[in-house]
Amino acid sequence: MSAAVLLLALLAQGQVQAPARAVVSSPDPVGRYLDDLVKAGVVPSENATLDGLRAALISAEQDLVTGNVQTATTRLFALVESSTFERFKNDPEYQNAELTLGRALVQGGAYAAAERYLDRLLGRGPKQPFFGAAYRALVDVALETHDEATVLAHLDARSDVATLPKDSGNERAYLAGKVMYASGQFAAAAQQFTEVDRQSRFFASSLYFRGLIDARTRHFASARRNLCEIVEQSDNDHFTFFVDGRYWAIKDLAFLALGRVAHEQGRYDDAYYFYFRVPEDSERLPDALFEAAWSMFQKGEYEAARAFIEQFDRSFPDSPLRPDVLLLHAMLDLKSCRFDKVRATLDAFENTYAPIEIEVARLIAEPERRRALYRRLLGRQEIGRGRDSIVELLKLDSRFYRTFAYLTALDREAGLVPQEIAVWDELTAARSGNRASTAAGAQATEAAQLLTDAQALAAESRSEPDLHDQAAELLAAAHRAARPVSQEGPFAEEAERLQALSQQTRQLRARLVDATSAIAEGALIDLHKRLKGLLRQARLTHIDAVIGKKKRLEIEIANLAEGRYPTEMLGRLETEGLIGDDEEYWPYEGEYWADEYENYR
């Protein structure tokens, strides 16, 4: 049995433990597990030399680069926690292994476990070679978990702000700026963002937040300068600022922000220019197309606005902005005096979105009903996949999808618990030389049949949250009956702890469902406000269309009374005036032949 398979449960345990920011002083059990496995002869011992450490670290880094996070984490646990390499803990190779393990745990979502190893590097002081990289990794944890305030306090407790290296100081300034921005302290946040220099990976992000702060305080000229510095790099500068994968998303946001600032100032041509510069492969293109159409509508360039929303309809038919675009269609038709088309469009709008608005209002008013909807959608794995009319219109941020990904990963890891219990039982049997006791439970025919039925029931009940919880409890009991945990042996304690972990995963799953529901609740309230406002605007536009058509009919009647005919009637009346009572006019419906064409001309 390979070490990677044996330590899958350990990785799962690191992922499901509740986050704890305090530094853990007790020894990690992974090292003891590894030593026991080596003594049992299940895991081969590594080459206990510095060259062996380097070779194992290279293999782990290759696994991490190729996306095999679990295997990389297992290899790195074997390097960092095993007593084999403990004598090299002051060497750069060992510290590099600690850093790589921390990064691997972050990539796998085990943030609390990652902090343990990153804190080791911070504890060695800012002059050590991997201090800056560990500081960066913890800042990434803060941004990934949206728990900036807690991580900032943790970092300040682990290191002296006055002695931080330049790069770490930039990291802290950006993180502190985000904390203050979130709490509404805009002046203090702007000061922190100003301290981030050009060599920081967060310089473009700091400029963006400075632009947002200026726009909030209506200092539009300063906001434009900060945002333009992101999107307009000088060609004659040898160095502008640090650019990484974040830059392109920030650049798209800067174009949108510049367009909104110009729109707020009534400079619609400038807004059109900035919206037009959002690239076609950007996630922000739907917003740019809609807002550009709205700017052109505000300016009175109706054909340009129509071209933008027609492009939107072709490219993004399932966008959450669909009701806004449909209403803009009606408003453009109203400006073109197409009153019948306006009324038809608004009737379709009312029939489509009024029932959704009523259902959303009911969900907001009834928390139990709302919670059941979230859990049912999560159980069926339909969130964000466009299978529900309400979900399609929700504007969900990245936290929602990240939490849903954690939920999916937890379900996958929880499914491995029975196999991991069997592994510990096999290890107990290998150490004690008694395999019959471990096989007795697995040979229980009735228990095995119950396990099969419980698995089928759990799979079929995912769309019903309450029934699925009961099925999960039954499945856990069936697993215990089919393979009872060994009560004796060197690894009995580990098997029992893993059995208890199965219950903890179910409790954590319930908390993740609640967290996902809480995140979606804000989006649901925003959707209700948006739909309510759009429906109100649609009804007002419908009234304008009726009044407009009435006014046009009054004008036509007045013109007819005075002998003036509408333009569309002139051609038809002229033709009818040339035809006698005994004559009939047949319009040409064929084609001209080549020999007739000359005569026709």
Closest CA to 348 of 170, 511, 535, 188: 535
Is the separation of the CB atoms in 579 and 585 below 8 Å? yes
Exposed/middle/buried for residue 481 (C-beta within 10 Å: 0-12, 13-18, 19+)? middle
CA dist., res. 219 & res. 270, Å (int)? 17
Reported as type and span, the H/E element at residue 276 is: helix 268-276
The SS3 call for residue 116 is helix
Give the end-to-end CA distance of the chain in Å, rounded to a whole number.
92
Residue 184 in domain: no
Query: 490-522 b/e with 16+ CB inside 10 Å = b?
Result: bbeebbebbbebbeebeebbeebbebbbebbbe
- Return the top range by mean pLDDT from 107-116, 175-184, 469-478: 175-184
Q: What percent of the chain has pLDDT over 70?
A: 68
- Whether 1 has a pLDDT exceeding 50, the answer reads no
Residue 25 in domain: yes
pLDDT-derived band at 507 (thresholds 50, 70, 90) equals confident
Residue 297 in domain: no
What is the pLDDT at residue 236? 45
Residue 337 in domain: no
Residue 364 in domain: no
- State the residue range of the domain holding 32: 1-164
What CATH number should be reported for the domain holding residue 35? 1.25.40
Closest CA to 428 of 512, 383, 494: 494
Per-residue pLDDT, averaged over 218-242, amounts to: 76
Residue 403 in domain: yes
- Whether 388 has a pLDDT exceeding 90, the answer reads no
CA dist., res. 496 & res. 162, Å (int)? 48
Per-residue pLDDT, averaged over 39-47, amounts to: 56
Eight-state DSSP code of residue 416? T
- Return the top range by mean pLDDT from 327-331, 380-384, 569-573: 327-331
Is the separation of the CB atoms in 500 and 426 below 8 Å? no
| H-helix segments, 381-491 | 389-393, 398-414, 417-432, 436-442, 445-460, 465-482
Per-residue pLDDT, averaged over 41-48, amounts to: 58
Which single residue is written with the structure tokens 């990484």? 244
CA angle 553, 558, 561 (to 5 degrees): 125
Packed helices 285-299 and 268-276: angle between N→C axes, nearest 10 degrees: 160
Domain boundary among 546, 576, 595: 546
pLDDT-derived band at 544 (thresholds 50, 70, 90) equals very high
- Which amino acid is residue 44, in one-letter code? P
What is the pLDDT at residue 486? 55
- Which amino acid is residue 201, in one-letter code? R
CA dist., res. 463 & res. 110, Å (int)? 28
Q: Which residues are CB-contacts of 473 (< 8 A; sequence separation ≥ 6)?
A: 506
Residue 554 in domain: no
CA dist., res. 97 & res. 416, Å (int)? 27
What is the pLDDT at residue 545? 92
CA dist., res. 175 & res. 169, Å (int)? 10
Q: Out of 44-48, 255-259, 502-506, 535-539, which region has the weakest mean confidence (pLDDT)?
A: 44-48
CA dist., res. 262 & res. 292, Å (int)? 11
Is the separation of the CB atoms in 288 and 278 below 8 Å? yes
Higher pLDDT, 321 or 445: 321
Closest CA to 114 of 138, 148, 80: 138
Number of structural domains found in the chain: 2
At 61-102, the pLDDT tens digits run: 888 888 888 888 888 888 887 777 888 888 888 889 899 998
Domain boundary among 118, 144, 164: 164
| Per-residue tokens: 374 | 């979230």
Residue 198 in domain: no
- Whether 366 has a pLDDT exceeding 70, the answer reads yes
What is the pLDDT at residue 106? 86
Q: Out of 48-52, 266-270, 274-278, which region has the weakest mean confidence (pLDDT)?
A: 48-52
Query: 98-125 b/e with 16+ CB inside 10 Å = b?
Result: bbbbbbbbbbbbbbbbbbbbbbbbbebe
For the chain, counts of helices (H) and of strands (E): 29, 0
| H-helix segments, 320-386 | 322-335, 339-365, 367-380
Q: What is the 3-state secondary structure (H, E, C) of 298-317?
A: HHCCHHHHHHHHHHHHHHCC
pLDDT-derived band at 295 (thresholds 50, 70, 90) equals very high
The SS3 call for residue 255 is helix
CA dist., res. 290 & res. 553, Å (int)? 33
Per-residue pLDDT, averaged over 434-452, amounts to: 50
Mean pLDDT across the chain: 77
What is the pLDDT at residue 16? 37
What is the pLDDT at residue 384? 43
Eight-state DSSP code of residue 88? G
